[in-house]
Amino acid sequence: MNIFIFLLLLVSTLEAKVVLITGASRGIGLKTAEHLTSLGHTVYATNRKELDVTDDASIQRTLETIMQKEGRLDVLINNAGIAVFGPFELVTIEQAQRVFDVNFFGAMRVMQQVLPIMRKQNSGLIINMSSTSGVRPSPGWDVYGASKFALEGLSEAARAMAHQWNIDVVVVEPGTCATHFFTESTEIASRKNEDTAIYDTFMPNAMKWMEERLAAGQNPEEVAAVIATVIATDKPKMRYQTSVKGTQTVAKLHCDPTGETSTREQELLLEPLWRGGLDPQIGSSFR
């Protein structure tokens, strides 16, 4: 085969895609944008000022711009996310609603506007950024985990429906990543009354443990590489973890129909957070 035909084949295998990423001002979204651009894809890496996932009009404006310029949208990466940290008893309803408004309703809003575009094209890929917390809640991430569980449920339902239009919906489930998620995108649970004092030791322990876990977390570049592989795949699967440990965690859960193994594991994680004396290895399966 001559070199020209080889290069042509290589370019057609890479197939440059038009990609929209939400929440790409930093962290996983930014690294994914950089990586996909370096591979030759056309990337619309949006920040909250251009596309706020809680604002339908801003989603519509962005999609109109992309369609005017590119005439198509091949891949949506619903990456924008926020959290509230603390056991659910300490989370105010307003804090929980804010998290769901971005992580669940935000992703749903963008999907609702993107699906008709992809349906007309008879092609498309939607990647929803979940988490290992979307299959097993980690200590202190009760409401965040719940929002990712909801996103997983929506993604699974949407996937089965969208296949008939040649559209794929997948979830990516990173474990702990070394981004600024905890410092920049996470509120601390603030519901207080005489009953919540029971968490006075637990909370500082859990926060310290979490800060250490996040600092030692996976590089966002590795998550970006997994996303690039999903985009290059002909028939993507439903879920993608981003590390061997993450896959082991999820595999274990899917072999635990009663949920008892998972409950026991969570109890073991929670126990030292009540009394301090944290073992840095605790919860390493989340990474």
Cα–Cα distance measured from residue 181 to residue 157, given in angstroms and rounded to the nearest whole number = 28
Considering only residues 89 to 148 of the shown chain, the ones binding ligand NAP according to CB under 6 A are 102, 106, 129, 131
What DSSP state is assigned to residue 54? T
Would you say how long the chain is, in residues?
A: 287
Q: Site mask, ligand NAP, residues 157-196, x = CB under 6 A? A: -----------------x-xx-xxx--xx-----------
Closer to ligand NAP by Cβ: residue 54 or 196: 54
Under the criterion CB under 6 A, does residue 243 sit at the interface with ligand NAP? no
For residue 144, indicate whether it is catalytic: yes
Q: Which member of 19, 20, 82, 170 binds ligand NAP (CB under 6 A)?
A: 82
Backbone dihedral region for residue 166 (phi beyond 0: left; psi -120 to 50: alpha; all else: beta):
left
For residue 44, indicate whether it is catalytic: no
> Minimal CA–CA distance to 140: which of 103, 93, 87?
87
Q: Which member of 43, 52, 90, 224 binds ligand NAP (CB under 6 A)?
A: 52
Map residue 1 onto helix, strand or coil: coil
| Cα angle for residues 160, 107, 45 (degrees, 5° grid) | 115
Under the criterion CB under 6 A, does residue 245 sit at the interface with ligand NAP? no
Are the beta carbons of 28 and 184 closer than 8 angstroms?
no
Which residue among the candidates 131, 138, 148, 185 is catalytic per the annotation? 148
Closer to ligand NAP by Cβ: residue 121 or 262: 262
- Bridge-based pairing of strands 186-188 and 167-173 is unpaired
> Minimal CA–CA distance to 239: which of 285, 286, 172?
172
CA distances for 277 relative to 90, 203, 263, angstroms:
23, 14, 22
Part of the chain binding ligand NAP (CB under 6 A), chosen from 46-54, 63-71, 162-170, 259-267: 46-54
Closer to ligand NAP by Cβ: residue 78 or 205: 78
Part of the chain binding ligand NAP (CB under 6 A), chosen from 13-21, 25-33, 190-198, 276-284: 25-33
For residue 25, indicate whether it is catalytic: yes
Which amino acid appears at position 284 of this protein?
A: S
Are the beta carbons of 125 and 76 closer than 8 angstroms?
yes
Are the beta carbons of 110 and 53 closer than 8 angstroms?
yes
Taking the complex as a whole, the smallest distance from the CB of residue 260 to ligand NAP amounts, in Å, to 25
Closer to ligand NAP by Cβ: residue 15 or 64: 64
Under the criterion CB under 6 A, does residue 23 sit at the interface with ligand NAP? yes
Neighbours of 134 (CB within 10 A): 27
Give the footprint of ligand NAP on this chain (CB under 6 A). 22-23, 25-29, 47-48, 51-54, 79-82, 102, 106, 129, 131, 174, 176-177, 179-181, 184-185, 214, 217
As annotated, the active-site residues are 25, 130, 144, 148
